[in-house]
Amino acid sequence: MYAYDELDRQIVRERVAQFASQVERRLDGSLTEEEFRPLRLKNGVYLQLHAYMLRVAIPYGGLSSRQLRQLALIAEKYDRGYGHFTTRTNIQFNWPKLREIPAILGLLADVDMHAIQTSGNCIRNTTTDCFAGAAFDEIEDPRPTAEWIRQWSTLHPEFDWLGRKFKIAVTATQQDRAVLRGHDVGVRIVRNAAGETGYRLYVGGGLGRTPMEGKLVRDFLPRAELLGYLEAILRVYNLEGRRDNKFKARIKILVHEIGLEAFRAQVEAEYSKVVAAAPAPDLREFERITASFDAPDFADLPEVSRKLEQAQAADPDLAQFVARNLFRHKKKGYVALTISLKSIGGAPGDATAEQMRAVADLAEQFSFDQVRVSYKQNLVLPHVRRDDVPEIFAVLKAQGLATPNVDLITDIICCPGLDYCALATARSIPLAQTLSRHFADPDKQKEIGELSIKISGCINACAHHHIANIGILGLEKSGGESYQITIGGDPGDQYALGELLGPGLPASAVPEAIDRVIGVYLDARRQGETFIETYRRLGVTPFKAAFKEIADAVA
Amino acid sequence: MAVVKRPPFPVILVANDLVEGEVIFAAEHGWTRDVRAARVANDAEAAQALEQFGAAQARACKVVDAYLVDVEIEAGVPVPRHYRERLRTLGPSHRLDLGKQADFHL
């Protein structure tokens, strides 16, 4: 974990005091709602369908046990006993009272947390690979780079009131596990031919009503130049991006309208001005930040754990969990362990205060005090000894957290939808629950194999439905809820937007429609092919034909 | 004078309590959290009175986002015609233990 220094703490404390004063002035009438709204949005406070909502920042998804316990305390004392982990790796509380939010922010500040950069038109929480610092395949830990960007972007005087929000993701692996091309800027840590570590930058990606794929803007940027180059990108966007229409104000529209070459030329021109105006960039701050991350003191362990093997042989449930929820660690004898927040029939991404405490205890005892939040709305214990997996599994099972479904069809990404969100056009959680129950049979899930379902309750695409293998978008049609289905989306290295299968369906027809789509895959797949691979080989046509039978039946 | 665009009658006035954030409905006197006690306006004059009450209460920092919602009267109780507004009178549909549906056994 990055360790706050006094300056970090002071910034957060001052922000709490400032917002407390703003709330007071709102309540006594000194501020109108129009004046207050942008201020509350700068502090993660939304007015939702039933109540206020507070979104708390979890920078690059990293939490300590102490921080997770504090979130549990807030859930219990100021909310309704649970929180919702989001696709931006933050947490949302759905029921806080405005008067109490400054006290909540105070509790967060006590554990070096805040709600800065979780809303409003600024540079938002920087996200990364949920296995950062643990993954076998990373060039280096991407979190110091993410923290470097965070510190640069927090309260940045030039970029604190942009035309629209701006999202950055960082990864340090060949396999993209952070949806780089779906972000305003994607930062990939790479090595060049000379063996130097630097950055490859993508720009202009995004989902929402106009989904776009991020485009390569710089193949290799020396490490020391990162913040200067980001400054040039942000400045070109801030000056040239549209402000006449909020739906066209994201950087993806600018890049699309003027073209990548023109955009790159403007960035390079701006960057040469940045370089000329500033002293030569150095890595002192990056190195200070890197040193502020505590390095786990890994033990020298054997590759194989006899203890785990024996326990697996005796317990098929554990064996299934091991097969699905463990990820290869860079240190022998360790694994990164995913805790699924997708129990069968549960609300995706929700965790109770009791579950948060249980995970915090496990992290303290078994994972160097670390927990990660993934954009897939699960939690990760990044550094677990293979030997300890049976004991962890037993605790998770008792807490309803041992669902062995990582990356399977019931590991559904789902936004809050119209059950909470004021922007939503349809509910998403009840449909996720229905599909989760529909595909609950573990043998069926295993037979289908890796397949992502993502459900958004509106066109803003918080659940990334465009880049799901099976994406579901809830809309309003003739006064009722209607669900459009796309297939073939991919968030990773073969980034692709899904193709629409046909007209929207009522929720009740969605499980059967998905059955038909999966039926096409199961009939046509070749040995070892996943759903997305079969789709790429066959194209959308046979899936559309199968879908049409259901669509025609309900039309 | 410009024609005021309003939903069809009957209507109720819905808002959020400024301090609590909770959904509330204009009642015969003041506000209520229970839609069954909401004041129903059946004509332009009554609807305008509701709107004026909402605007005054917003100015007085009691409520936020007050607006009229069209309803049907079912067994004497106003039920919003649109599913979004119906959800606001109840709570999250997947958590019947939360919200007004739990508080008032709706």
Determine the Cα–Cα distance for residues A373 and A65; give it in Å rounded to an integer: 13
Q: Which of B60, B65, B94 sits opposite A347 (nearest CB)?
A: B94
- Whether A284 is covered by a domain: the verdict is yes
- Whether B3 is covered by a domain: the verdict is no
User: In this structure, are A178 and A259 located in the same domain?
Assistant: yes
**Chain B residues with CB within 8 Å of chain A CB:** 16, 18-23, 58, 60-61, 64-65, 81-84, 87-88, 91-95, 98-99
Both structure tokens of A47: 């007015």
The phi and psi torsions of B93 (rounded to 5 degrees) equal: -70, -15
pLDDT attached to residue B4: 63
Determine the Cα–Cα distance for residues A489 and A492; give it in Å rounded to an integer: 9
Q: Which residue has the tokens 């696709």?
A: A87
pLDDT attached to residue A294: 82
**Interface with B, mutate which of A22, A27, A49 (most B CBs under 10 A):** A49
Q: State the CATH number of the domain containing residue A498.
A: 3.30.413.10
How far lies A191's CA from each of A130, A390, B19, in Å? 21, 38, 53
User: Over A202-249, what HEC string results?
Assistant: EECCECCCCCECCEEEEEEEEHHHHHHHHHHHHHHHHHHCCCCCHHHC
Q: Are A154 and A115 in contact (CB under 8 A)?
A: no
Determine the Cα–Cα distance for residues A465 and A479; give it in Å rounded to an integer: 22
User: In this structure, are A174 and A233 located in the same domain?
Assistant: yes
Instruction: Mark yes or no for CB contact A50/B58 under 8 Å.
Output: no
Determine the Cα–Cα distance for residues B33 and A259; give it in Å rounded to an integer: 53
User: In this structure, are A422 and A456 located in the same domain?
Assistant: yes
Q: Are A240 and A258 in contact (CB under 8 A)?
A: yes
Q: Chain B residue with minimal CA distance to A53?
A: B21
- Whether B6 is covered by a domain: the verdict is no
Q: What is the pLDDT of residues A522-551, one digit of tens each?
A: 999 999 999 999 999 999 999 999 999 999
Q: Are A119 and A125 in contact (CB under 8 A)?
A: no
User: In this structure, are A317 and A285 located in the same domain?
Assistant: no
- Whether A237 is covered by a domain: the verdict is yes
User: In this structure, are A548 and A485 located in the same domain?
Assistant: yes
Q: Which of A27, A429, A430 sits opposite B61 (nearest CB)?
A: A27
Give the domain extent around B71: 11-103
User: In this structure, are A79 and A189 located in the same domain?
Assistant: no
Q: Chain B residue with minimal CA distance to A480?
A: B83
Distance (Å) from the alpha carbon of A375 to chain B's nearest alpha carbon? 22
A to B CB pairs, distance under 8 Å: 70
pLDDT attached to residue B2: 58
Q: Could you say which of A238, A258, A292 is where a domain stops?
A: A292
Q: State the CATH number of the domain containing residue A22.
A: 3.90.480.20
Distance (Å) from the alpha carbon of B8 to chain A's nearest alpha carbon? 15
Q: Chain A residue with minimal CA distance to B96?
A: A419
Give CA torsion, residues B52, B54, B60, B62, to 10 deg: 170
- Whether A532 is covered by a domain: the verdict is yes
Instruction: Mark yes or no for CB contact B94/A420 under 8 Å.
Output: no
Both structure tokens of B26: 């204009």
Edge to edge, the sheet with strand B11-17 lists B31-32, B23-26, B11-17, B63-74, B77-80
pLDDT attached to residue A555: 83
Instruction: Mark yes or no for CB contact A419/B99 under 8 Å.
Output: no
Instruction: Mark yes or no for CB contact B23/A347 under 8 Å.
Output: no
Q: What is the pLDDT of residues A406-440, one digit of tens each?
A: 999 999 999 999 999 999 999 999 999 999 999 99
Instruction: Name chain B contacts of A23, Cβ cutoff 8 Å.
Output: none
Q: Is the pLDDT at B1 greater than 60, yes or no? A: no
- Whether B52 is covered by a domain: the verdict is yes
Domain count, chain A: 4
**Interface with A, mutate which of B87, B94, B96 (most A CBs under 10 A):** B94
Let me know the angle formed at the C-alpha of A225 by A219 and A230, rounded to the nearest 5 degrees: 75
The phi and psi torsions of B19 (rounded to 5 degrees) equal: -75, -45
Instruction: Mark yes or no for CB contact A51/B61 under 8 Å.
Output: no
Q: Is A322 exposed, middle or buried (0-12, 13-18, 19+ CB in 10 A)?
A: buried
Q: Is the pLDDT at A513 greater than 70, yes or no? A: yes
Amino acid at A124: R
Q: What percent of chain A has pLDDT over 90?
A: 99
**Chain A residues with CB within 8 Å of chain B CB:** 26-29, 33, 47-52, 80, 95-99, 347, 418-420, 427, 429-430, 433, 479-481
User: Over chain B, what HEC string results?
Assistant: CCCCCCCCCCEEEEEEECCCCCEEEEECCCEECCHHHECCECCHHHHHHHHHHHHHHHHCCCEEEEEEEEEEEECCEEEECCHHHHHHHHCCCCCCCCCHHHHCCC
Q: What is the pLDDT of residues B28-80, one digit of tens each?
A: 999 999 999 999 999 999 999 999 999 999 999 999 999 999 999 999 999 99
Distance (Å) from the alpha carbon of A401 to chain B's nearest alpha carbon? 19
- Whether A52 is covered by a domain: the verdict is yes
Q: Is the pLDDT at B11 greater than 90, yes or no? A: yes
- Whether B23 is covered by a domain: the verdict is yes
- Whether B5 is covered by a domain: the verdict is no
Q: Is the pLDDT at A509 greater than 90, yes or no? A: yes
Q: Where are the alpha helices (DSSP H) in A367-508?
A: 389-398, 429-438, 442-448
Instruction: Name chain A contacts of B64, Cβ cutoff 8 Å.
Output: 33, 47
Instruction: Mark yes or no for CB contact A96/B21 under 8 Å.
Output: yes
How far lies A238's CA from each of A160, A220, A276, in Å? 10, 24, 20
pLDDT attached to residue A1: 86
Q: Chain B residue with minimal CA distance to A422?
A: B84
Q: What is the pLDDT of residues A132-170, one digit of tens each?
A: 999 999 999 999 999 999 999 999 999 999 999 999 999
- Whether A347 is covered by a domain: the verdict is yes
Edge to edge, the sheet with strand A45-47 lists A45-47, A52-56, A91-93, A82-85, A350-352
Instruction: Name chain B contacts of A52, Cβ cutoff 8 Å.
Output: 21
| Average pLDDT, rounded, for chain A | 97
User: In this structure, are A202 and A248 located in the same domain?
Assistant: yes
Q: What is the pLDDT of residues A437-492, one digit of tens each?
A: 999 999 999 999 999 999 999 999 999 999 999 999 999 999 999 999 999 999 99
- Whether B1 is covered by a domain: the verdict is no
- Whether B61 is covered by a domain: the verdict is yes
Q: What is the pLDDT of residues A276-326, one digit of tens each?
A: 998 889 999 999 999 999 889 999 999 999 999 999 999 999 999 999 999
| Average pLDDT, rounded, for chain B | 95
- Whether A125 is covered by a domain: the verdict is no
Q: Which of B21, B60, B92 sits opposite A419 (nearest CB)?
A: B92
Both structure tokens of A6: 């006094």
Domain count, chain B: 1
Q: Is the pLDDT at B3 greater than 90, yes or no? A: no
How far lies A146's CA from each of A149, A170, A339, A371, in Å? 5, 6, 23, 17
Q: Which of A51, A418, A419 sits opposite B21 (nearest CB)?
A: A51
pLDDT attached to residue A375: 98
Instruction: Name chain B contacts of A51, Cβ cutoff 8 Å.
Output: 16, 20-23
User: In this structure, are A147 and A31 located in the same domain?
Assistant: no
User: In this structure, are A288 and A310 located in the same domain?
Assistant: no
User: In this structure, are A151 and A260 located in the same domain?
Assistant: yes
Instruction: Name chain B contacts of A97, Cβ cutoff 8 Å.
Output: 19-21
Q: Are A318 and A312 in contact (CB under 8 A)?
A: yes
User: In this structure, are A373 and A446 located in the same domain?
Assistant: no
Q: Which of B19, B58, B93 sits opposite A99 (nearest CB)?
A: B19
- Whether A407 is covered by a domain: the verdict is no
Instruction: Name chain B contacts of A98, Cβ cutoff 8 Å.
Output: 18-21
- Whether B2 is covered by a domain: the verdict is no
Give the domain extent around A335: 306-398
Q: Is B49 exposed, middle or buried (0-12, 13-18, 19+ CB in 10 A)?
A: middle
Dihedral sign (CA A38, A39, A41, A47): negative
Q: Which of B16, B60, B84 sits opposite A47 (nearest CB)?
A: B16
User: In this structure, are A423 and A477 located in the same domain?
Assistant: yes
